[in-house]
Amino acid sequence: MIRVAKLPAIACSVLAGCATAPLPTYTWVDEATAINLMRQRAESITTLSAECRILLHRNDGESIHLDGVMLLAPPAAARIRAWKIGRPVFDLLLRDGRLWFAMGDGEDSMERARSLGLSPRALADAISLITTQAITHDSTAVEITSENMILKRPSWQNDLILHGEIDRASLTARRYSVVDASGVERYQLLLEDYAIVDGHPVPTRISGMGDSGRFVLHLSGVEVNGALEAAAFIPPSGAVEVQP
């Protein structure tokens, strides 16, 4: 069990429950069958927790490396906390579509986030996409190739469309993009270095790029369907709610 009150203490734990064996392969039937199987696979994950190394990279070239912990209870909740040399840097919570964000130093949260090249909404959306529940809900296939299936559905933001690129051989998401009404790509997310964790394929490298900069998450110590404290998804003290 990962206890939120003791998040920094778990940074030294080792990778458990993971295997680097090749991903299971899927025998293609049709797109409806594939989407249904992906939905069933995603719904079998009720919680996911992991330690993470975080890189925030601003568009001007400045960057910062952080340690952190990520907690998921899909599809409703996701949280990520980060610190530097044991000092809290930020705390982000997404729950039922609402987003809270706090900086560890008590400064103006959103202004400080922008100075780090961090978009709280983009990071929250990214970690909520790890289990693929979002893309398989009310999605439609727009393109089938020999290697990939491209899905799309309305994004959380008005007038934007979420595209998901799915590897047909393993039915794992490899790339997401958010596209505006004119077809311009506003944001992209890559999911790489999949590992099998207790029978579940989980990406251990997640990277995103948008207008504010880019970030990279390297996951370790991944646990699937472990117990999480009820307080894990209560808005943190001093957090401000980020409006859509």
153, part of any domain = yes
What does the pLDDT read at residue 61? Answer: 78
- Cα distances from 38 to residues 30, 33, 147, in angstroms, run 12, 9, 16
What does the pLDDT read at residue 17? Answer: 46
For the entire predicted model, the pTM comes to 0.83
How many separate domains does the chain show?
1
Beta bridge partners of 219: 52
- Distance between CA atoms of residues 74 and 127, nearest Å: 10
Query: For residue 58, what pLDDT band results from cuts at 50, 70 and 90?
Result: confident
User: What rounded mean pLDDT belongs to the chain?
Assistant: 82
CA angle 119, 122, 128 (to 5 degrees): 140
43, part of any domain = yes
What does the pLDDT read at residue 48? Answer: 96
> What tokens appear for 19 in the block?
């295997």
What does the pLDDT read at residue 16? Answer: 42
Which has the closest alpha carbon to 103: 83, 121, 86, 117?
83
Using the predicted structure, report yes or no on whether residue 22 has a pLDDT greater than 70: yes
Mean pLDDT over residues 164-172, rounded?
A: 93
Query: For residue 200, what pLDDT band results from cuts at 50, 70 and 90?
Result: very high
- Distance between CA atoms of residues 70 and 73, nearest Å: 10
Q: Among 23-37, 47-61, 104-118, which stretch is predicted with the lowest mean pLDDT?
A: 104-118
What does the pLDDT read at residue 211? Answer: 76
- Show the domain range for 71: 20-232
Helix (H, G, I), strand (E, B) or coil at 97: coil
241, part of any domain = no
The amino acid occupying position 47 is T
pLDDT digit string, tens, across residues 43-54: 999 999 999 999
pLDDT digit string, tens, across residues 74-114: 888 999 999 998 898 889 999 988 889 888 765 555 666 66
CATH of the domain at 203: 2.50.20.10
Using the predicted structure, report yes or no on whether residue 18 has a pLDDT greater than 90: no
Q: Which of 28-42, 92-106, 126-140 has the highest mean pLDDT?
A: 28-42
240, part of any domain = no
The percentage of residues in the chain with a pLDDT greater than 70, rounded to a whole number, is: 82
169, part of any domain = yes
Write the DSSP symbol of residue 202.
E
